Amino acid sequence: MKSLAGKITVATMAAIVSLTSAQASAQGTRIISANMKSISGPMSTVWRDCVGSGHAGLLLRKENQDQMRLVHDETGFEYIRFHGIFTEYPERVYVDPWTAKVTGRHGWANVHRFLRQAHRHLMLPTKIGIPIVCSLALLLAVSLVSGIVTYKKWWRGFFRAPRGGDGRRMTGDLHRLMGLWSLWFVALITLTGLWYLVETLGGNARVPKLPEVAAGAMPTGAALDRLVAVARRADPALDIREIRFTSDNGVIFLGQSSAWLVRDRANTVVVDPSTSRVVAQLDGRTLSAHQRISEMADPLHFGTFGGLWTKVIWFLFGALLTAMAVTGTMIYAMRLARSSRSDVGSLKIAWQGMGAWGYIGIALILLTLILTPGAIGGAS
């Protein structure tokens, strides 16, 4: 069988000859012929050592793997050259751990990444952006307290339907109703936001240091199955959510176990892949009070502790808070418009009433959008 490289070369040359022959027939000026059996000088066989593949992410596609396998079977090359393995256009690939089938893939730069980084640090460097975002929890705390103080006998309004009539009364009643049902959520987001602010100021809890393990081959297939069995024997209640293959700490299994309301990292089993021995284990039930507060902040802030149901609840109440920002602005604008008794529109009056805060808010939004192209691929 001829080599694949030979087939490709012959096909390419045939195409060139066909093209030039057609041109020659049309112009009648030049004819080019080629004899592939006649070679003058030494023939390079560098393709037997290494072939190019383009971007690393392309090798995750089945069709590319099939083509590479065919080329390897025909030519026997030893190495593949590709680029962008870490930073250039990374992809997230989702694989079913039981069937080993790819269930989905998407680029790193997507709506989720934009919302996460805009919410976490406004696309700014994390040391600058996170304290700015977390400090807004102070304003949320003031809003929570002022709402309870100004709304007399607020506990009676949970089932009070908004009244009709003018727009200001309707908007005000709707705003108070949403605020009452969101009290617990506002308090929760305020407390976790304040905790994140404390962490940025140096109050973060100590994270246990894992022992160093000599680097070895990455376990796959049956070898990885054995390590999973070892981790489950060490912690039978561990629901493995993540596996980390590290160069200096072995294979780390993280997930949810007997402790509730903690990050996955609070329940960890570390296995040395070369000896299949457990070299370290973390149990969320043994955390100190400081560590427990730190580990429960994320599950409470994002509502991930109860699966899809809590995520849906957190989303709905987050949408309520967004709606309250709109109704609050409308109430403020209508109140200023009534007191000024001028022909200026309500929105313009509201903008003027916000003073410097309005410009600061717009500036932060514009800065986030401007920084997005450069920041969305690099920040965590």
List per-residue pLDDT tens for the chain, 380 residues long.
Answer: 444 334 434 444 444 444 444 444 445 567 777 665 666 666 666 667 777 777 666 676 667 777 888 888 887 777 777 766 555 556 778 877 677 788 888 777 778 888 888 999 999 988 999 999 999 999 999 999 998 898 888 888 899 888 877 777 888 889 999 999 999 999 999 999 999 999 998 898 888 888 888 877 778 888 889 999 999 999 999 999 999 988 888 999 999 999 989 999 999 999 999 899 999 999 999 999 999 999 999 999 999 999 899 999 999 999 999 999 888 888 888 877 777 666 666 677 777 777 888 889 899 999 999 988 877 754 44
Rg (Cα) of the chain, in Å, rounded?
31
Instruction: Say if strands 79-83 and 50-55 run parallel, antiparallel, or are unpaired.
Output: parallel
C-alpha span between 231 and 250 (Å, rounded): 12
**304 and 310 Cβ atoms separated by less than 8 Å:** yes
What are the boundaries of each domain within the chain? 1-37, 44-108, 112-204+341-375
Residue type, 4: L
pTM: 0.69
**204 and 135 Cβ atoms separated by less than 8 Å:** no
Q: DSSP label at 202?
A: I
**238 and 269 Cβ atoms separated by less than 8 Å:** yes
C-alpha span between 106 and 100 (Å, rounded): 18
**177 and 162 Cβ atoms separated by less than 8 Å:** yes
Cβ neighbours of residue 110 closer than 8 Å, sequence gap 6 or more:
none
- Residue 253 β-bridge partners: 243, 269
**154 and 180 Cβ atoms separated by less than 8 Å:** yes
**114 and 132 Cβ atoms separated by less than 8 Å:** no
